[in-house]
Structure 1
Amino acid sequence: MGRKAQKNDSLPGSLDMLVLRTLSRRDLHGYGIVQYIQQSSDNELLVEEGSLYPALQRLELNGWIDGVWGVTSNNRRARIYKITAAGRKQLA
């Protein structure tokens, strides 16, 4: 019989698309991106920091997102990411 999909199974590039989709809704810092993906998937999709931050760097190098230093709602300094026009084209 077929193998049941594990929570950590994914297609190549799917994390990048999840991040772009998340940032198309609102600008967020890394931890906020993780929380949004997990909450919106009812904890079916678990994103680890070891995967997220390389993906954010890759997306920024491709010009699909921009990251700027800012202050979060709890007054902590964090890099806030937003999707660019080129990133929106990737979602189309």
Structure 2
Amino acid sequence: MTGMTELLKGALEGVVLAHIAQGETYGYEITQYLTALGFDEIVEGTVYTVLLRLEKKGLLAVARRKSPLGPQRKFYTLNEAGKAYLAAFWEKWQFLATTMTHIQEGKA
């Protein structure tokens, strides 16, 4: 869906963390995942910026390994801090989603 970039910016960290929580992955694979979900406007550079930010926050375990297709890749998994951050993200998301639904339905 087009026009989602601005709305997704605030949630992108959570979406990326949720994907990493499913198992070890790397940047390009995350970009493909987002594209498959329909977030066509998300470019690879944006994903790498998010990954760097998450890494600096201490939320990811990072392993560098040689790729069969070329140079080394960074592979990401969630550490305990990342799991806690993701749980807090989903709590905030649930509050926001519920509130927005109430607003849309004229109940707020």
TM-score (norm 1): 0.77
Unaligned runs of 5+ in 1: none
Unaligned runs of 5+ in 2: 88-108
Cα RMSD after superposing both structures: 1.8
* 1:40-55 alignment, distance < 5 Å: 41=37, 44-46=38-40, 47-55=42-50
How many residue pairs get aligned? The number is 84
Which residue is equivalent to 2:81? 86
1:24 aligns with 2:28: no
Q: Which has the higher helix share?
A: 2
TM-score (norm 2): 0.67
Change (3 A) 1:30 1:11: closer
Q: Within 2, Cα distance between the matches of 1:59 and 1:65?
A: 7
Which residue is equivalent to 1:35? 32
Percent identity reads 27
Structure with more contact order per residue of length (Cα contacts < 8 Å, sep ≥ 6): 1
**Bigger Rg, which one:** 2
Partners of 1:22 and 1:37 within 8 A in 2: no
